[in-house]
Structure 1
Amino acid sequence: MVFNKASNEEKEPLLQNVDSPPRLPIRYIILFFCFMANTINNGMRINWSIAILAMVSKKKLDQSNLSAEVLLGDNGTESYDWDMETQQIILGAFYYGYTFTPFLGGWLVGKVGGFRVLFTGVLLSSVMMLLTAISARISVALLILTRVIDGTGQGVVYPATYSIIAKWSKLNERSTFISVSSSGYSIGAIVSSYVSAWLCSSCFLGGWPSTFYGVGISGIILCFGWFIIGSNDAANNRWISNYEKKLILSSRTEDTQSENNLDKVPWKSILTSAPVWSLCVCNVGFDYGYYFLSADVPIFFKTILGFQIKTTGLLTLLPQSAMFITMILGGVLADKLIFSGTLRIITMRKIFGFLGLGVSSVLLVSLGYFRNDITIVAILMVGVFAMYGFFIPGIDANTIDIAPNHSALLIGIMFSISSLTGFIGPAVLGALTNSTNTIIQWREVFWIVAGVQAFGLVAFLIFGSGNEQDWN
């Protein structure tokens, strides 16, 4: 293997080894970047839910020359006099930027490619993380603006990773690649929740500001590496060996290799496609349940079951870990089942979809009927998230099955629609528990969530397809 300085015309790889496979395939490095992009993305989001607890305090500090009311936290760090309404506005501002940008990201991928969209999205969110502390110090309005921009940056990243994976993976690796890339969300939640809590309780770099500096710098470093190594596809990467390039391109369909067909998006065909809409409805069911369990069930543990914060934290760590494991194993299993001829693509996708939404719904409803047994509650929570892990290689990977050229756009449409559940879910919960907060109301909520998940599952079981669509 030798290093060559190639001309732009020839587009020769800098690392060549024509006769034998490389020791470390470049596509695995590309996959690692997608994984880290998702890890940092969700880490930024979880980071806020922890940090805001340290950003608010009741002890006043001299504020003579400050535009925002600055207070003194319990560990001597600066904090602010924000009421609950202000805190919710700050946290919710993220979704004003995030709701429609997955769709924008999917469309942009078709115009400029996944490489630029991923780079820009991560960079934008990272810069906002670095500006969080100073923005909070200046004014709440400026802080809200950084949250909106942060959501905008994060919204375009996930569709970009799908486009990159569709063009970098072999056919028999797609489910595995998608599972590994998406598992970054679980790892981001696990790592960020504990690292953020530790930094917020320390005095390092001012306490809570260090959590934003850390994740922001991590994103900048990732962008630097991606700028050097990354590319839209294997055909145009300067680091890939000729052996690996031929290996990837030979396993791809002619349509997927062509970039010219991305200039015109078959909007009518996409918007009237039953398989596409079945994916959208199915994803609404999944996100409604996932957002609910991630954001609101800890409240159930504390207010209804009376669990301590440490216990609640453990019931957050274990389920996310279980989801990470089943997501990876599910991806590997899916590829083996499909390419060994054991199951057809659509059969495997629907089985995994049933595990992800059907079985999880039964376990979710059961949570409302075991209020005095922490062991059973823990098992049920782990079980729900473990089943959620099968959803990614089962349903989300289906976008590449039916339209590999437009998978990023499909993911963008799906996520833009399903992100609305981030608003709807808390509203439904608030309406049912605002006046009376008892186990009875929570059981009703669990049944509603399970019903939405079941509806999404039925839609995919009836209309889902594993065949590449003609309009691709």
Structure 2
Amino acid sequence: MTDTEEVYEKVPRLGLRHLQAGLLFYGLAANTVLQLNVNVAVVAMTNGTRSNDGNTPLYDWTETQKSYIQSSYYWGCALAQFPAGYLCKRFGSKAVLFWGTLVSSLLSALTTHAVAVAGWKAYCVVRLLQGLCQVTWPCIHQHLANWCPTAERTRLGAFAYTGFDCGNVLAMYGAGMVASSSLGWPGISYSAAGLGLVWCVLWLLLGANTAGEARFIGKAEKSLIVGDLRRSESKEPKKMEIPWRGIFTSVPVYALLCARCADSWGLTTMQTQLPSYLSGVLGLDMRSNAVYSALPFLLMWVMCYVYLVIADVLLHKKWMSLTALRKTYTSIALWAPASIMLALVFVGEGQQTLVLVLVTLSVGVSSAATIGSELNTIDLSPNHAGILAGLMSSLTNLMALLTPLVVGVLVTDSRERNQWQVVFGLAAGVLFAGNVIFLIWGTAVTQPWNESKESQRELEPEEKPFQHTKLEIAPEGSDGNGVSLRLNCTSP
């Protein structure tokens, strides 16, 4: 029995590392609600039903103005991600994530008053400032890298990321229900602010940057986490030089970037435009819109756990390598929605039920991206996970801010079905291309630039991964009638 196995026997099944994952889940859900509730709010503010007291104002905003409101958040978000990765590395994820969520929650509480004073332009400013506070993704990557033993990285990381799916459901269904209640659309901003502020209190009391800083952690669990990280970091010095050249010349990083940008384009299309599509093309009222807008993301949330269980079995039984698992799940997350979106283009106008089923499936299956590509930054570089995640998030948020603007140009009348066909066709093409690139050049192997320069010099040439890449066509099956095509990266 190895030392690691002996330590595992003494570690509680539920420990502080699970609490940290739970806090990340809640934090990501709260920040997702703060991010996405605007997509229901703009529908309620322009086409919604007045509250019971009849005092909730409605606004006559054009489709272009609504697209500016929806995209303004991502302008701030794109600017914030890269600095957030550096700040996490410098000050720790606890402080950065706390202040980002706190300010975003307070801004959400001020939204109603800002819109009342200066209209849609004020809404854009508030959303832009909230985007600048969105530091969730780099902080979560760094926090998971600090707390997750290698053997539990996929399990704990995937669970934390399902907070995003929970937030999607709350943003769509919860916001719709609030808007159709006596609170009206202003209640959307207030409820999101309350959700974020409660998390801030819990995070301040229970969060910790590392296992070494935690106050309530047991000795066995601390030894497991600290020992595993020391082995994975190869006893790196506390202050490592950020390998900018290695990152910007890394083919796997660019392959991952293409997959993440494609996923961002497809998912943002649904997140930002689904309420408008259901309201305009299918003519659903506010309450029905909330239900059917949330249903795809509810399926997405459930499927996350299904994917997680399957991935856990595949890795535990060693039936699939981590690289093969990442590529398989990424293919499901990108190519399945692409196929469904293409099908939407050809569905007839009177087939409302089929449209709802296809929309639900296109979003639901895409949750495979959590295990497929979102955790891949930690694979490529555990030591610089926050920096890498910040870089990725900056560029994927450019896709997220462009999507509403492109849709605003393509869709001048939300009731015109043929204009939405162009939107779905474009998204399908982006999803298909992004996955092709990741299949060819993506990997889950930790890159050489993850180590310090001193450690890199210690590696012999044959120890460096991806020296040789070859395409193999091999017989498959006992009768030898089938063939399999594999892209293998091996050392000689």
Give TM class, smaller chain. 0.7 to 0.9
**Counterparts of residues 306-345 of structure 1 (less than 5 Å):** 311-345=288-322
Is 1:158 equivalent to 2:148 in the alignment?
no
Quote the residue 2:91 is aligned against.
112
Q: 2:414, 2:132 → 1: CA distance?
A: 36
Quote the residue 1:5 is aligned against.
none
Report if aligned partners of 2:36, 2:272 keep a CA contact under 8 Å in 1. Answer: no
Quote the residue 2:398 is aligned against.
420
Q: How far apart are 1:355 and its partner, in Å?
A: 0.8
Q: How far apart are 1:287 and its partner, in Å?
A: 0.8
Report if aligned partners of 2:29, 2:164 keep a CA contact under 8 Å in 1. Answer: yes
Q: How far apart are 1:180 and its partner, in Å?
A: 1.6
Deviations 1:188-241 (A, max 9, x none): 12123333333334445xx44333232212222211221121111112211111
In structure 1, which of residues 267, 278, 284 is the aligned counterpart of residue 244 of structure 2? 267
Secondary structure of the structure 1 residue equivalent to 2:217: coil
In structure 1, which of residues 246, 249, 256 is the aligned counterpart of residue 226 of structure 2? 249
Q: 1:319, 1:174 → 2: CA distance?
A: 27
In structure 2, which of residues 152, 157, 160 is the aligned counterpart of residue 173 of structure 1? 152
Q: 2:25, 2:338 → 1: CA distance?
A: 28
- The aligned amino acid for 2:306 is L
> How many percent of aligned residue pairs carry the same amino acid?
27
Provide structure 1 residue ranges, at least 5 long, that are not aligned to the other structure: 1-16, 60-71
Q: 1:208, 1:429 → 2: CA distance?
A: 24
Quote the residue 1:182 is aligned against.
161
Is 1:285 equivalent to 2:262 in the alignment?
yes
Quote the residue 1:374 is aligned against.
352
Deviations 1:279-305 (A, max 9, x none): 111111111111112222444444445
Q: 1:135, 1:352 → 2: CA distance?
A: 43
Report if aligned partners of 1:114, 1:163 keep a CA contact under 8 Å in 2. Answer: yes
Is 1:455 equivalent to 2:455 in the alignment?
no
Q: 1:297, 1:199 → 2: CA distance?
A: 18
Q: 2:144, 2:111 → 1: CA distance?
A: 32
Instruction: Give TM-score, length-normalised by structure 1.
Output: 0.84
Deviations 1:229-284 (A, max 9, x none): 11111122111111111122333353548674554211111011001111111111
In structure 2, which of residues 128, 131, 151 is the aligned counterpart of residue 148 of structure 1? 128
Q: How far apart are 1:55 and its partner, in Å?
A: 4.5
Report if aligned partners of 2:332, 2:368 keep a CA contact under 8 Å in 1. Answer: yes
CA distance 1:435–1:367, change in 2 (3 Å):
closer
Secondary structure of the structure 2 residue equivalent to 1:237: coil
CA distance 1:458–1:108, change in 2 (3 Å):
same
Is 1:47 equivalent to 2:47 in the alignment?
no
Which has the larger displacement, 23-32 or 387-396? 23-32
Deviations 1:385-431 (A, max 9, x none): 23201111011111111111112222221221121223333344344
Report if aligned partners of 1:167, 1:256 keep a CA contact under 8 Å in 2. Answer: no
Q: 2:231, 2:270 → 1: CA distance?
A: 42
Q: How far apart are 1:128 and its partner, in Å?
A: 1.0
CA distance 1:346–1:193, change in 2 (3 Å):
same
- The aligned amino acid for 1:353 is T
In structure 2, which of residues 128, 146, 171 is the aligned counterpart of residue 192 of structure 1? 171
Report if aligned partners of 2:379, 2:444 keep a CA contact under 8 Å in 1. Answer: yes
Q: 1:424, 1:167 → 2: CA distance?
A: 33
When the two chains are superposed, the root-mean-square deviation of aligned CA atoms in Å is: 2.9
- The aligned amino acid for 1:175 is T
Which has the larger displacement, 359-368 or 48-57? 48-57
CA distance 1:310–1:23, change in 2 (3 Å):
same
